Amino acid sequence: MSSVLINYAYLQLLDLLTTAAFLLAGVKEANPIVVFAMEIAANPILGVAAVKALALMLGLYCWWSNRGRLLKMATAFYAVLVAYNLVCLILALGAS
């Protein structure tokens, strides 16, 4: 299995965990797709997990269809996103 796919999957997990931490800290989710999934799911975390499962399937599709460049770009995006999430979480917890 490609290291970029493993990194992508790991970043999906970190995004799920930072989103859960956001929710516990009272920070609102900004992604409208995730907000919708949270609203229709039995539990908000299940909604986020469903979106992450879809993201993992898209990552697998990129890997299987030899779209490595796209997968690398998505991985880089999620690396920045997770770092941003952590900064926002730290700021939110520091303000409370």
DSSP E strands, the chain: none
CA separation, residue 55 to residues 12, 31, 63, 68, 77 (Å): 8, 14, 12, 15, 13
d(CA 12, CA 18): 10
> Would you call 39 exposed, middle or buried from its count of C-beta atoms within 10 A (0-12, 13-18, 19+)?
exposed
- What are the sequence ranges of the domains in the chain? 3-95
Tell me the per-residue pLDDT of 40-85, one tens digit each, with 9 for 90 and over: 999 999 999 999 999 999 999 999 999 999 999 999 999 999 999 9
Q: Which pLDDT does position 1 carry in this prediction?
A: 64
> Can you give the pTM of this predicted structure?
0.89
Two structure tokens written together for 55:
């993201």
d(CA 92, CA 37): 23
Arithmetic mean of pLDDT, 13-23 = 93
